[in-house]
Chains A and B, each alone.
Chain A
Amino acid sequence: MSTALLVEGLRKCYGAVVAVDDVGFDVAEGEIFGLIGPNGSGKTTTAECAQALRRPDSGRVRVFGVDPHEQRGAVRRLIGSQLQESTLPDRITVGEAVHLFASLAPDPVDEPGLIAEWGLSAKRGAAFSSLSGGQRQRLFVALALVSRPRLVFLDEMTTGLDPAARREAWRLIERVRADGATIVLVTHFMDEVERLCDRVAVLVNGRIVEVDTPAGLIERRGGGSVVRLSAPAALDTGGLRALPGVADVTCHDGVIEVRGSARSVTALGHWLVVRGYGDTGLRVSQGSLEDAYLSLVAAAREES
């Protein structure tokens, strides 16, 4: 697996404001990599520097080993891009837009095929302004893919879409990956990250505070798993504390609460069965990615 995108020590200031500082991460080929963070945390700046749309003050960017700021011609073939808040002329038709962006590519995909693939054949002669939000997003993704890019940047592509259109967009993103592209996804939506991203970087105030899988973030930062059970009278809670993965055990009003990692749940179940409490009901709740994200952001803001 080669590295699709490498970012090291990225720093970018706008005047006196430091937008990103010492940002570094790498994206493996075939991965869907998420960039999340509060507004103004530097997600878009990071993505734009990685695409050579902005020149960083310092730091290193490599796209499949190519420096996008030096070899603009070579990188044009490698990158496809869906930009935040960037549209098309109202009166351009779907077919014209696809043809225009195809004319930029040295080896473009078949235009009618691409339009059909993204479900826009019936809209080929329709003006951009007449398209629905979902259709516009499909067109933008199609335009980003017309040059057969190996690395695709999607910046807030589902913002403003209704739930059905968002889910449709997710399926499209998965299809893009299935076709072999690597994807960098900038987003605000945790459900999107959980559903799509293999790994995600959390940016706060222009710095990366965590890079992990969504599951790993939940595990470590989401408050872990909480198991509640009605305590049989003879239960030895001291033994529970000694179980692997268990962080804390509390007991009040006859309800025991066991907090710990995901594997503490397995250990707890085994422990209960072995001691003959196999018929005890467990209510398990899991911290969400949103919990993990919010706790990370709060902790990072406290530090700075």
Chain B
Amino acid sequence: MRVAGTLSWIELKLLLREPVTVVFTLALPVLLLYVLAQVFGNTPDPEGEFYGGAGPLDYYTPAYMGLVIASLGLIGLPVHIASYRERGVLRRFQAARMPVAAIITAQLATAFAVTIAGSVLLVLLARLTYGVHWPVSWPGVVAGVFAGTLTFSAVGLFLGAVLPTARAAQGIGVLLWFLMMMVSGGGPPPEALSGVLNRIGTALPLQHVVVAIQDPWLGRGVNWPQLLVLLGILAGCAALSGLALRPRH
């Protein structure tokens, strides 16, 4: 797969040249973590009322790994795919007989590379500066990040396939990003949200990613139901994107 390798490398470079994507995936999560650390520190709530008894930064660090993943899936990938469609890049690829597998491989490779980079950045900052605890279960965290990245890649592909233009994708993507950040564990602790907001959070994919990474991190074990929900969203979005992007003969 020489093509897939070449395309992956070029796609990664293209993504890093896209300022909005870089800000939302690599800069904002780190910045938010920094701000929250200044506000809350990492001392658990003495009454155990918030964060399920965990230290705020132990809670937010894995949550923001989810935010990195969401940034790619809600902003980076949809804008990229919508602009490819809008500009006829996909048609050019089709005319050059670019294998569809190479295009998908390249998008996934890029998503994983950036997720890993963003996560390492977050974890290093949190660990070195605020003494965040290491995950209780590394394999569980890796599984959560892996499933989350796959799922949000499918979400991003779907959004990019159905939104009419790159501008629309960017607007809607940023809106979804803020919405999900606030109600899916990246904002106030879930215990502080009203029932309605929590229900909205449960209906959106990010909360499942956050919990799937958080639970093994905080020693609550691998959350299999959440991983299954992610697989379900993945299958649904992948099928819908395939339908929307099938070549029109």
In the complex, are the beta carbons of A87 and B96 less than 8 A apart?
A: no
In the complex, residue of chain A having the shortest beta-carbon distance to the beta carbon of B94: A53
Using C-beta atoms within 8 Å of the partner chain, give the interface range for chain A: 20 to 34
Could you say which of A88, A91, A103 contacts B18, with CB atoms under 8 Å apart? Answer: A91
Could you say which of A81, A91, A96 contacts B96, with CB atoms under 8 Å apart? Answer: A81
- The answer to the question of B13 belonging to the interface, with a C-beta cut-off of 8 Å to chain A, is yes
| Besides the known contacts A89-B87, A99-B10, 13 further A-B residue pairs in the complex with CB atoms under 8 A apart | A76-B97, A83-B92, A86-B88, A86-B89, A86-B92, A88-B89, A89-B14, A91-B14, A96-B13, A101-B96, A104-B96, A143-B96, A147-B96
Which 7 residue pairs spanning A and B have beta carbons closest together? A86-B88, A55-B249, A103-B6, A81-B95, A76-B97, A91-B17, A86-B92
The number of chain B residues with a CB under 8 A from chain A is 24
Which residues of the partner chain B approach A195 to less than 8 Å between Cβ atoms?
Answer: none
In the complex, residue of chain A having the shortest beta-carbon distance to the beta carbon of B90: A86
- The answer to the question of A263 belonging to the interface, with a C-beta cut-off of 8 Å to chain B, is no
- The answer to the question of A255 belonging to the interface, with a C-beta cut-off of 8 Å to chain B, is no
Number of A-B pairs whose CB atoms are under 8 Å? 58
- The answer to the question of A92 belonging to the interface, with a C-beta cut-off of 8 Å to chain B, is yes
Bound: A103/B9 CA distance, A? 12
Which residues of the partner chain A approach B246 to less than 8 Å between Cβ atoms?
Answer: none
- The answer to the question of A85 belonging to the interface, with a C-beta cut-off of 8 Å to chain B, is yes
Query: What are 29 of the A-B contact pairs (CB < 8 Å)?
Result: A51-B95, A53-B95, A54-B248, A55-B249, A72-B97, A76-B97, A81-B95, A83-B88, A83-B91, A83-B95, A86-B89, A86-B91, A87-B87, A87-B88, A88-B89, A89-B83, A89-B89, A91-B17, A91-B18, A92-B10, A96-B13, A99-B6, A99-B10, A100-B6, A103-B3, A103-B7, A104-B3, A104-B97, A143-B96
Which residues of the partner chain B approach A91 to less than 8 Å between Cβ atoms?
Answer: 14, 17-18
**Nearest-Cβ distance from residue A98 to partner chain B, whole angstroms:** 11
**Nearest-Cβ distance from residue A134 to partner chain B, whole angstroms:** 19
In the complex, residue of chain A having the shortest beta-carbon distance to the beta carbon of B83: A89
